[in-house]
């Protein structure tokens, strides 16, 4: 199934010439165009893409790498699957444009093992691109040499974190590295590397195709363009939607016909759980930030059951490298069990929330820094249901 | 393991090492191929891979134990992986789980005695809009009902 309303940016027919256009520009001009557009990373972290590319372009090295992060593991996110499956050309052109912009010769798509069924299709597509001289040596007679290969993951959520992903590519356990140094200086095999989300590359191709100015007209201040959101849970029309930044939760719910919503989880398991009283809040980097996951829970759902599911997820997926994440998530899950049994005191609950805040500060990578989010937000926003009247 | 089997495995690993290169980055692709072909990565295979890549066997062990899709124990020919994350959970994962358990007469984490099916849970597989969902090896099945699931399982029997 394609994107439900791909009318704003993703009407791909318009972007056929993005690559050709890009190769006529100087690499610096592409980076400047992306910077001017104000494109921020679509995977969830929201780092300015132009800044990342500029740092990689200015790094001095004999080799540079582009990595497309297709390890879409955040619960409730499936937009990258749709992009890779149905908008393949846009993604591949975006990666090639990224490679040209930082002057790399090689790219790797890190495809999650769960999407292995897309592997052959993607390989065939890359082969077609090579035959059409849109990949390989001297692309479209521009003198630019670039190729893309695909590497599969093996089922580890943490490998969506860029340094863990690089570790995995280098043949190690997917344990996050200390940052700095950042991958733009010391990335894959020690070479300058940009790691971007699938949607970020697609958006970059769109910006080159339509121009930074056009892009900045869409969305709201500081969050430009559109976002693909994957909507699931209790609604009549789940799927992937393209929405301009600044859309409110209320409008999203109307769009997918969710009439009975009690809570909306924005940003996946590691995101925030929003109650009805906050449904006027907006999807943007400044308010409700999301890598694409929006899950809707209706009035019949038990929020504690949902929280338990999230915490079990984090206990399993924590890589175990740093103790705030390894032990903290276990303690939070045990806390959920105590609440279920009616054995958790109010004092202990507050201690657990404090523990969550410590994990946000002290964990080494994004996993542990964000895994207490559902615990804190569900127990804050739904305290009455989950704790007080239980 | 028979000596001839061991020898065959060594040759196979050597071929893979030639294909992917005798470097550390080749480790995961080699492990993935062995996993796919044999359903697991035996201790002997881990030793041999370590030899060819010139790394300590414990490094190989560390990687094998880290990733959910790599296994150290023999698994069934078909690995049934049911998504347990929240969207599939709310869509009725429990009923699917019970139906498969009854049909195959094993619990999650177990393998049928004829080594045909292994039953596992996995975390979010990105089919949240079409749950409940499961993978059998690399094939995806969505919008499951208990009845539909049994028909799917039967088609692999």
- Could you tell me the pLDDT band of residue A16, with boundaries at 50, 70 and 90? confident
Across the interface, which of A75, A230, A306 has its CB nearest the CB of B129? A230
Q: Which residues of A touch B125 (CB under 8 A)?
A: 114
What domains lie within chain B, and their CATH numbers? Answer: 3-66 (1.10.10), 78-156 (3.40.30.10)
Name the residue of chain A whose CA is nearest to B30's CA.
A171
Contact B33, B16 (CB under 8 A): yes
Asked whether the beta carbons of residue A170 and residue B25 sit closer than 8 angstroms, the reply is yes
d(CA A123, CA A148): 10
ipTM of the complex: 0.95
What's the pLDDT at A350?
96
* Residue A246 clears pLDDT 90, i.e. is over it: yes
pLDDT in tens, B73-112: 999 999 999 999 999 999 999 999 999 999 999 999 999 9
Q: How confident is the model at residue B69 (pLDDT cuts 50, 70, 90)?
A: very high
Inspect the interface and report whether the beta carbons of A156 and B66 lie closer than 8 Å: yes
Q: Does the distance separating the beta carbons of A73 and B124 come in below 8 Å?
A: yes
Residue A13 in this model has a pLDDT that exceeds 80: no
Structural domains in chain A, CATH included, are 12-216 (3.40.50.11540), 227-298 (3.10.20.600), 303-388 (1.20.1440.230)
Cβ–Cβ pairs < 8 A, chains A and B: 119
Cβ-contact A328, A368 below 8 angstroms? yes
pLDDT reported for residue A388: 87
Chain A residues lying within 8 Å of B126, measured CB to CB: 72-73, 77-78, 80-81, 112, 114-115
Q: What is the mean pLDDT of residues A275-301?
A: 95
For A354, other C-beta atoms within 10 Å of its C-beta total: 11
pLDDT band at A390 (very low <50, low <70, confident <90, very high): confident
| Arithmetic mean of pLDDT, B40-57 | 97
Model confidence over A63-98: pLDDT tens digits? 999 999 999 999 999 999 999 999 999 999 999 999
What confidence tier does A285 reach under pLDDT thresholds 50, 70, 90? very high
Q: How far is A331 from chain B (nearest CA, A)?
A: 20
Q: What is the pLDDT of residue B34?
A: 97
Question: What residue in B sits closest to A302 (Cα-Cα)?
Answer: B90
- pLDDT over 90 (residue A352): yes
Using an 8 Å CB-CB cutoff, list chain B residues near A114: 122, 125-126, 135
**CB of A157 less than 8 A from some CB of B:** yes
Q: Does the beta carbon of A374 lie under 8 angstroms from any beta carbon of chain B? A: no
CA–CA min distance A71, chain B (Å): 10
* pLDDT mean over A319-342: 97
Q: What does the alpha-carbon distance between residue A58 and residue A27 come to, in Å, rounded to a whole number?
A: 11
Say what the alpha-carbon torsion angle A26, A110, A169, A189 is, to the nearest 10 degrees: 0
- The candidate with the shortest Cα–Cα distance to A169, out of A91, A94, A92, A108, is A108
Q: Do A154 and B126 touch (CB under 8 A)?
A: no
């Amino acid at each position: 199934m394609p994107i439900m309303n791909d009318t704003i940016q993703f009407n791909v027919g318009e972007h056929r010439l993005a690559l050709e256009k890009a190769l006529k520009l100087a690499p610096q001009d592409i980076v400047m165009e992306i910077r001017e557009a104000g494109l921020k990373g679509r995977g969830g972290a929201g780092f300015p893409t132009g800044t990342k590319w500029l740092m990689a372009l200015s790094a001095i090295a004999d080799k540079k790498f582009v990595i497309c992060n297709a390890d879409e593991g955040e619960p409730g996110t499936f937009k990258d699957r749709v992009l890779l499956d149905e908008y393949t050309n846009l993604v591949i052109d975006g990666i090639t444009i990224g490679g040209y912009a930082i002057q790399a010769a090689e790219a790797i798509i890190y495809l999650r093992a769960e999407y292995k069924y897309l592997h052959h299709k993607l390989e065939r597509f890359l082969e077609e691109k090579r035959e059409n001289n849109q990949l390989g040596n001297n692309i479209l007679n521009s003198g630019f040499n670039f190729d893309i290969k695909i590497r599969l993951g093996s089922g580890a959520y943490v490998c969506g974190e860029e340094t863990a992903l690089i570790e995995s590519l280098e043949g190690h356990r997917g344990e996050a590295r200390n940052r700095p140094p950042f991958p733009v200086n010391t990335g894959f095999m020690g070479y300058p590397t940009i790691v971007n989300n699938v949607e970020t590359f697609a958006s970059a191709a769109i910006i080159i195709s339509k121009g930074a100015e056009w892009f900045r007209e869409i969305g709201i201040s500081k969050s430009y363009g559109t976002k693909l959101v994957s909507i699931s849970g209790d609604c009549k029309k789940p799927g992937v939607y393209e929405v301009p930044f600044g859309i409110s939760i209320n409008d999203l719910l109307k769009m997918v016909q969710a009439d009975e919503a009690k809570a909306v989880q924005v940003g996946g398991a590691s995101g925030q759980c929003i109650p009805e009283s906050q449904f006027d809040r907006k999807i943007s980097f400044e308010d409700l930030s999301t890598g694409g996951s929006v899950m809707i829970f209706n009035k019949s759902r038990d929020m504690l059951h949902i929280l338990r599911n999230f915490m079990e997820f984090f206990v399993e997926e924590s890589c175990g490298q740093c103790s705030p994440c390894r032990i903290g998530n276990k303690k939070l899950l045990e806390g959920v069990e105590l609440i279920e049994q009616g054995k958790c005191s109010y004092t202990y609950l507050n201690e657990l929330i404090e523990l969550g805040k410590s994990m946000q500060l002290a964990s080494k990578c994004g996993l542990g820094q964000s895994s207490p989010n559902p615990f804190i937000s569900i127990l804050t926003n739904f305290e009455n249901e989950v704790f007080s009247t239980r | 393991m028979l000596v001839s089997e061991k020898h065959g495995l060594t040759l196979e690993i050597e071929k893979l090492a030639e294909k992917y290169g005798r470097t550390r980055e080749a480790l995961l692709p080699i492990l993935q191929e062995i996993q796919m072909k044999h359903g697991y990565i035996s201790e002997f295979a881990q030793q041999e891979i370590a030899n060819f890549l010139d790394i300590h066997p414990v490094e190989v062990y560390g990687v094998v134990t880290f990733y959910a899709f790599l296994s150290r124990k023999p698994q069934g020919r078909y690995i049934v992986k049911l998504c347990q994350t929240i969207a599939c959970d709310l869509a009725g994962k429990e009923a699917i789980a019970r139906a498969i358990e009854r049909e195959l007469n094993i619990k999650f984490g177990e393998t049928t005695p004829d080594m045909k099916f292994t039953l596992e849970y996995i975390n979010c597989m990105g089919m949240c809009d079409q749950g409940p969902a499961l993978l059998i090896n690399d094939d995806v099945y969505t919008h499951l009902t208990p009845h539909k699931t049994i028909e799917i399982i039967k088609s692999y029997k």
